[in-house]
Amino acid sequence: MKPSKKPLKTLAKKRIKKTVEKPVETAMPPEPMLRSKYRYLLDDPDVNRWFKNECRGSEIGGREHLRRLGAICGRFEKTPAQLAKMTTQQAKDFILDMVSEMEAAGMRANYIRNFVKSLRSWLRHKGIDFTLRVKISKQNRTAKYQKERPPTPDELKKILDVADIRRRAAIALVAFAGLRLEVLGDYLGRDGLKVEDLPEMTIENGRVEFKRVPTRLVVRGTVSKTGNDYATFLSEEGCEYLQAYLEERMHVKTRKKWSNGKWSRYMVPAEQLKPDSPIITPDKYGLAGKHIRTTNIGDLIRVAIRKAGYDWRPYILRRYFDVRMMRAEGDKLILRDYRVFWMGHAGDIEAVYTLNKDLDEETWEELRNAYARADEACLTTRRPKEFSEDRAVAIFNRLQLKYAGYTDEEIAAHGDLSALTPERVQELVEKKNANSRVNGKGSRQTVVPVSGLSDALSHGAEFVSTLPDGQVVVKLPAAG
């Protein structure tokens, strides 16, 4: 028999057609897989099965596994089938050689570790499983963004000032509510934050209003990283930015698009916002009213950050929320569990049985008040208004009455505290002390410098609190 003159590649294709009677379905979500240069790997039925199985656990994770497997095959000139034919020892050697080469190329430890994870996932799928502890050099363990610091309130304000109305709303949701980028729009743009996820927001006749501020914001489990529902709040400043953006969408707008080598203008009709309408949408022709993808959320926020002159990642805005809330926690304005809950973290077992369950209205109000305190002191980019003389007098008088033992209700009964004269305040303080002695309590409070705190405590005094000027309030022991 004469050898065929047809190319070997053509013969291989014919053999494949003869041996594979019915190809496995390779249809996967069109975006963004069709644009991936590793899309061809899914033509292999085994790779397709593995990929689909990984996507069942996490669609993003499955696509990342496929991308890394493709990169490994390209770098080392292998096919997935060739990798699957290795023996256990050959697979171990290949992984260790791969790590050594990637280290020599200066790649970071986490980056290398992810490639090892993807390769081992593919090998396990093909029945090659083994225990191998992969060690990575200490020189490669420095995280890429380890030294990246979050912005200050003034720097965040600069970013907000240069952002357009849509970017400003997205930035506010991340920086003031602590949302992850994928909450605003998932990886494929199929789901994201909706109008109904802000239950205290109303939309009527083209106007957006908030019944309560700070307003509650619900994160559904379908867009939550942990898969659990949780809630956070959006500050007054954030509500204003979001209101402006949503109201703009409900009016006719003019946009530009690039077509046939030139810019042309087109009209965007007014949008009818419904409960299932996305909060943030793409600003592209034909995509109005659709969910935005996580990648595009990052892109639009990054534009504002770069325009303001900074090179931070978009995710730094979530770190801003976390760090500012940590400061509020240190100032005793909020509890740690509150910050963990607003960030959407799983928390410890106590948090599971408290904040991660259905909450009553009283608890929601405590959460709202705590958030408002933290926002005013640490979160907002707006500087507090200058104290008027009357306000300063009222705060000083309130502190004196509070330290004397008056309750909030008793203080409120005196009306405008700025109208109280020093003599009247002193009279009320002495009256409170006298009542304490009559009732047998015989105790009173006084202010001592920090240097005298140890001496006061040694004589039976009890620590009460620290004043803004650094002095200390103590309760003196009952008279003998």
DSSP-assigned letters across all residues of 133-199: -----GGG-S-TTTTPPPPPHHHHHHHHHHS-HHHHHHHHHHHTT---HHHHS-TTSS---BGGG-T
| Count of positions (residues) in the chain | 480
Q: Write down the pLDDT at residue 96.
A: 92
403: which residues sit within 8 A by CB, 6+ positions away?
Answer: 445, 447, 464, 465, 473
Q: Write down the pLDDT at residue 12.
A: 35
Q: Write down the pLDDT at residue 467.
A: 57
DSSP 392-453: HHHHHHHHHHHHHT--HHHHHTT--GGG--HHHHHHHHHHHHHHHHHTT----EEEE-GGGH
Successive 10-residue mean pLDDT values, the chain, 480 residues: 39 36 40 68 90 84 89 90 91 91 86 90 90 78 67 93 92 94 87 92 90 91 82 93 91 74 76 89 71 90 93 92 90 85 68 56 86 90 65 76 78 82 80 59 60 68 62 63
Q: Write down the pLDDT at residue 61.
A: 84
Q: Write down the pLDDT at residue 68.
A: 92
Domain with CATH 1.10.443.10 in the chain: 153-321
Q: Write down the pLDDT at residue 447.
A: 65
User: Can you tell me the distance from the alpha carbon of 100 to that of 295, in angstroms, rounded to the nearest whole number?
Assistant: 31
Taking each helix axis as running N to C, give the angle between helix 109-125 and helix 88-104, from 0 to 180 degrees, rounded to the nearest 10.
160
Q: Write down the pLDDT at residue 216.
A: 92
For residue 375, report the phi and psi dihedrals to the nearest 5 degrees.
-65, -45
DSSP 341-396: HHHT----HHHHTTTTS---HHHHHHHHHHHHHHIIIII-SSPPPPPPHHHHHHHH
Q: Write down the pLDDT at residue 478.
A: 59
- Asked whether the beta carbons of 468 and 434 are under 8 A apart, the reply is no
pTM of structure = 0.64
- Asked whether the beta carbons of 297 and 185 are under 8 A apart, the reply is yes
Closest CA to 415 of 430, 404, 428, 432: 428
Q: Which CATH number fits domain 153-321: 1.10.150.120, 3.30.70.141, 2.50.20.10, 1.10.443.10?
A: 1.10.443.10
Q: Are strands 445-448 and 472-475 parallel, antiparallel or unpaired?
A: antiparallel
- Asked whether the beta carbons of 20 and 3 are under 8 A apart, the reply is no
User: Can you tell me the distance from the alpha carbon of 46 to that of 126, in angstroms, rounded to the nearest whole number?
Assistant: 9
User: Can you tell me the distance from the alpha carbon of 6 to that of 4, in angstroms, rounded to the nearest whole number?
Assistant: 5
Q: Write down the pLDDT at residue 6.
A: 40
